[in-house]
Amino acid sequence: MSLTDIAIRTAKPRDKAYKLYDGGGLYLGVQPNGGKWWRYEYRFTE
């Protein structure tokens, strides 16, 4: 399920940081101070 623009804009800070997943390893981290950061989790194997 992908995040919508409205879901991203209305994400409120909580006591602890939390993640809103977009799918495929992409998520939006919401910090207690209100900061929002896009992150991408991946694994690199040889």
DSSP percent split of the chain into helix, strand, coil, nearest 5: 10, 35, 55
Distance CA 17, CA 35 (A): 10
Q: What is the CATH number of the domain that holds 36?
A: 3.30.160.390
Which pLDDT does position 6 carry in this prediction? 95
Find out whether 20 and 1 touch, Cβ atoms under 8 Å: no
Q: Coil, strand, or helix at residue 21?
A: strand
Residues of the chain with pLDDT under 70: 1
pTM of the full predicted structure? 0.82
14 in a domain, yes or no? yes
45 in a domain, yes or no? no
Which pLDDT does position 14 carry in this prediction? 96
Biggest alpha carbon–alpha carbon distance for the chain:
40
Number of domains in the chain: 1
